[in-house]
Structure 1
Amino acid sequence: MSTGAQVIVEELERAGVDVCFGLPGVHNLALWAALRESSIRLVGVRHEQAAAYAADGYARATGRLGVAITTTGPGAANTLGAVGEAWASRSPILVIATDIPSGLRRPGEYRGVLHETDGQAAMFAPVVKSVHLGCSAGEVANATAAAVRSATSAPTRPAYLEIATDLLAAEVPEGDPLAVALAEDAYDLSSVVAALDGARRPLIWAGGGARDAAGAVRALAEKLAAPVLTTYGAAGVLPPGHPNLVGLPPHVEAAGRLWDEADVIVAIGSDLDGVQTQNFAQPQPETLIAISLEEPTNYRADVFVPGDAAVAAQLAEQVKPREGALELAAARAQACTGLDAAALRFLDAMRFAVPAEANIVVDMCIPGYWMAGFFTPAAPRRLQVPLGWGTLGYAFPAGLGAALAGTGPTVSLSGDGGFLFAAGELATMAQEQIPLTAVIVDDGGYGMLRYDQVRAGTETFGVDLHTPDFEAMAASFGVWAETVFGLEDDFGEALARHVDTGQPSVLVAKTPTPLVPPPNTSPNWYRKR
């Protein structure tokens, strides 16, 4: 018979997990010991929130399960902000937390045991898909299997697993065999095919649920001769320069008009959320066909196809081919004339410096918003944006996870404020030799908030920051660091050098004149409700 910790590790190995992120505590050391004897790499971070962010970054880069391990009470609670981001962005992560010893727990009663809370799992309920408890020896195996299955089954979202600490070292029975998943019912696509065959101006709106069906989306777009708008989560579904790719966010009027003028819109793997639709100010389409695992509620779907984005492949085979060439170049040219020249130079520098196979993880900062809206990666899952929940401080710790995904070099992009949320993870990067290039754009404050105050005509308050010498701070951890000024040619050349080394490094870009926020930031939305 195995211990509870061994059962958990065996289940993770069966699920194909190859790396976990966590922080040790007196309550979870038995799990750390079991992981030490396993095939799974255990990366110790310096804060539990970073563990959940790293698990999320890994999951987004790979599509596989990301795992964060915490101890009881405050350790578990420290992950909540990051778990909320994973929930809103539908990332398959599993948080494994301990609880106080099972013999000391009395339901509904607080007894003052170390790290005790009254209903720890209840804190997670709003930000996870499911909660699984192992409060007795007989529950550990089945709770673990159910949590893994929940997090990784479509539609994906985080799951929470809580195990009483004494059960990690105790012998526990094996679980029941996994239930066999039921096959999905076939869906009659004839009404969808008829609508698309009769469309005059079809348009495809690709969401994060389409990122693993890029070939199908491409085939459908080419068959329909339809422009494709991609959400932040779907960036790269069509490669840069593809004739059907709009390559602009719908927050730019030239791109937004394509939505307005379309008579049939196919939304694939998207819930048409507020961030992407300017808080639903985009008008209800004449005809909306929604292909998704969950029916959208933000817009009326005239036809809802319950299924994953692979349904697009069936549609591509059945619809009639359309003649005519798309004329998107004029829309892009018109949009570019109104964009900030310094930001365009920054985007050019990023394209020059970062190879096509790289992962780029951006934060809630002005350069990150420019990347989210106007940078098209070479493939899906190559650009991560924390605009599910909108959590500042995401990029650096999530970049650590993405860098261990084995999918290519990785660059994180943070502002000076957001980087300091997890600056202690420089120690993690150095100790584990994680091949991440962490870019810090230092404009001496919360640039987006400063912009909001200036735009409102008020004196800036609380947004200008005293920041450290980031280069010296990184060097104190033994991480190679360099400082450049601005975000143009010198920045691009330095970034290319850093990425090429394949080593942990920090590149600081001092920008006394910050970039102007792009049109996809809410103060600059052209649609108002």
Structure 2
Amino acid sequence: MLGLSTSLAGRALPPPAAVPSFRHMASGAERLVEVLSAHGVEVVFGLPGVHNLPIWEALRGSPIRLVGVRHEQTAGYAADGYARATGRLGVAIVTTGPGAANCLAATGEAMASGSPVLVVATDIPSTLRRPGEFRGVLHETRDQRAMFLPVVKGGWTVRSADALGTYADSAARLATTAPHGPVYLGVPTDFLTADAGPWARIPTSGPSVPDLAEAVEVVGRSTTPLIWAGGGAQRAEAGAAVAALADKLDAPVVTTYAGRGLVDHPHVVHGPVHLPEVGALWDEADLVIGIGSDFDGMMTQNWLQPPRPLLSVNVDASRNYPAAAALRGDARVVTEALARALPRRPTRRAADRVAELNAAVRAAVLADEPQAVPLLDALEGHRVVADMCVAGYWVGGFQRVTRPRGLAYPVGWGTLGFGFPAALGAALTGRVVAVCGDGGFLFACGDLATARQERLPVTVVLVDDGGYGMLRYDQERAGHPAHGVDLETPDFVALAGSFGVEASEVDGFGGGFAARLAEFTAQDGPNVLVVRARLKPPVNTSPRWYRRVRT
């Protein structure tokens, strides 16, 4: 036995002898890279340290692209951004102790957002470890794996060089098995240079379809169904299946933040349920069909949307609202089967209702914050990664996203500083626009060097309102003067220029902004567009939620 332990319910590895093994002699680092290649990994993000340099040597001779970053948190966010943009495994490779700890916030965001990320962190040499003792070895922690357990789907520390390949294969499979999530793999540094044993690919079975009889009956009793599609539908590539179901039922479709762009269809609402006009769809529905959604607090205004009869289509049981019926399985496969099983309903003109609603959404945005309209218009058609900033909240709530995986947004865990480093990972697949505030951008501004060195096609829209605009709003709303939220910010154009990155500055989101954005997004490599503007937070930010606890 390999002595594996995980953060969840005792996931143990099947015997490796069940399938053919890869038997050529290799070092542990070479075996790790071999396993990553076998899982289709084409790029990894990381920062070198004295303990993980053998992995850098193994990567040198491999087809995997190494993107070296300037902070381990960036490695985690970039791996997450890459995973969200591609649906594939994102890999962050960090060093021992403080290097691993620097990656924790990004790992937590990946967990909350269901991103398939593998964090490979070296640990102190196994020969220097004494169980139960802290000896002061360079970068030693008492239990590095334990630091990660609250923010990962599973976590292992490799027990021997011979087992490294099997551990790595299992970690990669766990991260990419629904429900997706990050996995921690700790590797004592001496195992990277030792001879590694063979490893085995463990076969997996395809998704199955549960019995649909009860679900068909529940749907048949409804007259005003609403489809609510979330991140699980996005990760399962269920867009076409959701469209087919919407057509069959003539039902409107609302998407969560993680579901934005899942499908471009006349029944899709281009606004959040936090807007009363959109929330009315929930109130009017006599059945909500939740596809790949956990109905989390951020989307339900902390569960103040009253429970509706719910048909849950998800890999997990419905945790936050009781389900009248549940279909456990892959969101795409199950939704396809459900759409085939249901009769087509007479048209209730859902497309007309949604068109009117989308016009009302736009009118509401224009009335609430006129500056937001040209921002959203200029970004339409672009792949966007938004940060936790006021401009990002407008994008997350109201951007019309017309392609799957066209928006990455950190709610989620809500980690400030996500936008720019996550965009570096997403940019490996083509031009992406990162919408950041001046405060959050400074979390990772050093990785402008990464963007420049790797010639990554990322355009940063940096909205400079002189501080933490959302927190300034919270203080003002509470009747307090601004305190500790107004910041001295650098000359961002000069800062970008010092890294060799082209930058420009405009006032507001008028024609000059749109023209400059179009110019920058047509270029090669990175650039930064600084916008001096202050925006009012939108209704999807919690201080403005319209559903309130009645006292």
TM-score normalised by the chain length of structure 1: 0.96
Does residue 1:66 correspond to 2:107, yes or no?
Answer: no
Q: Say if 2:121 and 2:187, in contact at 8 Å, map to a contact too.
A: yes
The AA in structure 2 aligned to 1:351 is: D
Partner of 1:218: 243
Cα distance in 2 for residues equivalent to 1:143 and 1:278: 40
Match of 1:67, SS state, is strand
Q: Say if 1:411 and 1:439, in contact at 8 Å, map to a contact too.
A: yes
Match of 2:203, SS state, is coil
The AA in structure 2 aligned to 1:325 is: R
Q: Say if 1:52 and 1:82, in contact at 8 Å, map to a contact too.
A: yes
Does residue 1:232 correspond to 2:254, yes or no?
Answer: no
Deviations 1:92-127 (A, max 9, x none): 000000000110011111000000000010000011
Partner of 1:521: 541
Percent of residue pairs bearing the same amino acid type: 52
Deviations 1:227-279 (A, max 9, x none): 1010011101221xx32112221101111111011001100000000000000
Identify the match of residue 494 of structure 1 among 497, 502, 516.
Answer: 516
Cα distance in 2 for residues equivalent to 1:243 and 1:38: 46
The AA in structure 2 aligned to 1:20 is: V
The AA in structure 1 aligned to 2:505 is: T
Does residue 1:162 correspond to 2:182, yes or no?
Answer: no
Cα distance in 2 for residues equivalent to 1:377 and 1:225: 21
Q: Say if 1:28 and 1:165, in contact at 8 Å, map to a contact too.
A: yes
Cα distance in 2 for residues equivalent to 1:345 and 1:171: 61
Which deviates the most, 75-84 or 344-353?
A: 344-353
Identify the match of residue 28 of structure 1 among 36, 52, 68.
Answer: 52
Match of 1:339, SS state, is helix
Cα distance in 1 for residues equivalent to 2:359 and 2:400: 16
Identify the match of residue 124 of structure 2 among 100, 103, 122.
Answer: 100
Does residue 1:332 correspond to 2:350, yes or no?
Answer: no
Cα distance in 2 for residues equivalent to 1:435 and 1:167: 37
Distance apart, 1:528 and its partner CA = 1.0
Q: Say if 1:218 and 1:237, in contact at 8 Å, map to a contact too.
A: no
Do the aligned partners of residues 185 and 216 (structure 1) sit closer, same or farther apart at CA in structure 2, a change above 3 Å counting?
Answer: closer
Identify the match of residue 296 of structure 2 among 264, 273, 293.
Answer: 273
The AA in structure 2 aligned to 1:330 is: E
Partner of 2:153: 129
Match of 1:491, SS state, is helix
Match of 1:275, SS state, is helix
Cα distance in 1 for residues equivalent to 2:491 and 2:269: 40
Partner of 2:408: 384
Match of 1:421, SS state, is coil
Match of 1:68, SS state, is strand
Partner of 1:294: 316
Distance apart, 1:496 and its partner CA = 0.7
Partner of 1:456: 478
Partner of 2:79: 55
Deviations 1:475-527 (A, max 9, x none): 0010000001102221111111000013211110011xx11111100000000
Deviations 1:184-239 (A, max 9, x none): 45311122112222311010000011111100000100110001010011101221
Which deviates the most, 291-300 or 126-135?
A: 126-135
Cα distance in 2 for residues equivalent to 1:426 and 1:123: 29
Cα distance in 2 for residues equivalent to 1:320 and 1:195: 13
Does residue 1:143 correspond to 2:163, yes or no?
Answer: no
Distance apart, 1:336 and its partner CA = 3.9
Cα distance in 2 for residues equivalent to 1:496 and 1:186: 45
Identify the match of residue 320 of structure 1 among 314, 332, 343.
Answer: 343
Q: Say if 1:416 and 1:444, in contact at 8 Å, map to a contact too.
A: yes
Do the aligned partners of residues 234 and 194 (structure 1) sit closer, same or farther apart at CA in structure 2, a change above 3 Å counting?
Answer: same
Distance apart, 1:473 and its partner CA = 0.3
Partner of 2:526: 504
Partner of 2:107: 83
Match of 1:414, SS state, is strand
Q: Say if 1:229 and 1:250, in contact at 8 Å, map to a contact too.
A: yes
Cα distance in 1 for residues equivalent to 2:283 and 2:547: 12
Deviations 1:40-81 (A, max 9, x none): 010110000000000000000000000001000000000000
Cα distance in 2 for residues equivalent to 1:46 and 1:64: 23
Distance apart, 1:137 and its partner CA = 1.8
Q: Say if 1:54 and 1:397, in contact at 8 Å, map to a contact too.
A: yes
Does residue 1:207 correspond to 2:230, yes or no?
Answer: yes
Which deviates the most, 374-383 or 44-53?
A: 374-383
Q: Say if 1:349 and 1:489, in contact at 8 Å, map to a contact too.
A: no
Q: Say if 2:270 and 2:400, in contact at 8 Å, map to a contact too.
A: yes
Cα distance in 2 for residues equivalent to 1:381 and 1:417: 26
The AA in structure 2 aligned to 1:299 is: Y
The AA in structure 1 aligned to 2:358 is: R
Cα distance in 1 for residues equivalent to 2:48 and 2:206: 40
Distance apart, 1:183 and its partner CA = 4.6
Do the aligned partners of residues 335 and 437 (structure 1) sit closer, same or farther apart at CA in structure 2, a change above 3 Å counting?
Answer: closer
Q: Say if 1:350 and 1:492, in contact at 8 Å, map to a contact too.
A: no
Do the aligned partners of residues 191 and 481 (structure 1) sit closer, same or farther apart at CA in structure 2, a change above 3 Å counting?
Answer: same
Distance apart, 1:289 and its partner CA = 0.2
Distance apart, 1:340 and its partner CA = 4.6
Match of 1:441, SS state, is strand
Partner of 1:412: 434
Q: Say if 1:20 and 1:66, in contact at 8 Å, map to a contact too.
A: yes
Partner of 1:351: 377
Q: Say if 1:343 and 1:370, in contact at 8 Å, map to a contact too.
A: no
Do the aligned partners of residues 522 and 153 (structure 1) sit closer, same or farther apart at CA in structure 2, a change above 3 Å counting?
Answer: same
Q: Say if 1:221 and 1:227, in contact at 8 Å, map to a contact too.
A: yes
Which deviates the most, 224-233 or 134-143?
A: 134-143
The AA in structure 2 aligned to 1:365 is: C
Distance apart, 1:139 and its partner CA = 2.3
Do the aligned partners of residues 228 and 520 (structure 1) sit closer, same or farther apart at CA in structure 2, a change above 3 Å counting?
Answer: same
Cα distance in 2 for residues equivalent to 1:7 and 1:120: 22
Cα distance in 1 for residues equivalent to 2:457 and 2:361: 36
Do the aligned partners of residues 409 and 341 (structure 1) sit closer, same or farther apart at CA in structure 2, a change above 3 Å counting?
Answer: farther
Unmatched runs of 5 consecutive residues or more in structure 1: none
Q: Say if 2:455 and 2:524, in contact at 8 Å, map to a contact too.
A: no
Deviations 1:155-186 (A, max 9, x none): 110011110101111111112x2332245453
Identify the match of residue 465 of structure 1 among 477, 487, 503.
Answer: 487
Cα distance in 2 for residues equivalent to 1:342 and 1:281: 23
Match of 1:34, SS state, is helix
Cα distance in 1 for residues equivalent to 2:49 and 2:113: 29
Cα distance in 1 for residues equivalent to 2:171 and 2:295: 28
Cα distance in 2 for residues equivalent to 1:491 and 1:461: 30
Match of 1:305, SS state, is strand
Number of equivalenced pairs: 519
Q: Say if 1:395 and 1:413, in contact at 8 Å, map to a contact too.
A: yes
Cα distance in 2 for residues equivalent to 1:336 and 1:438: 25
Cα distance in 1 for residues equivalent to 2:469 and 2:172: 39
Q: Say if 1:49 and 1:78, in contact at 8 Å, map to a contact too.
A: yes
Identify the match of residue 506 of structure 2 among 484, 489, 501.
Answer: 484
Distance apart, 1:345 and its partner CA = 4.5
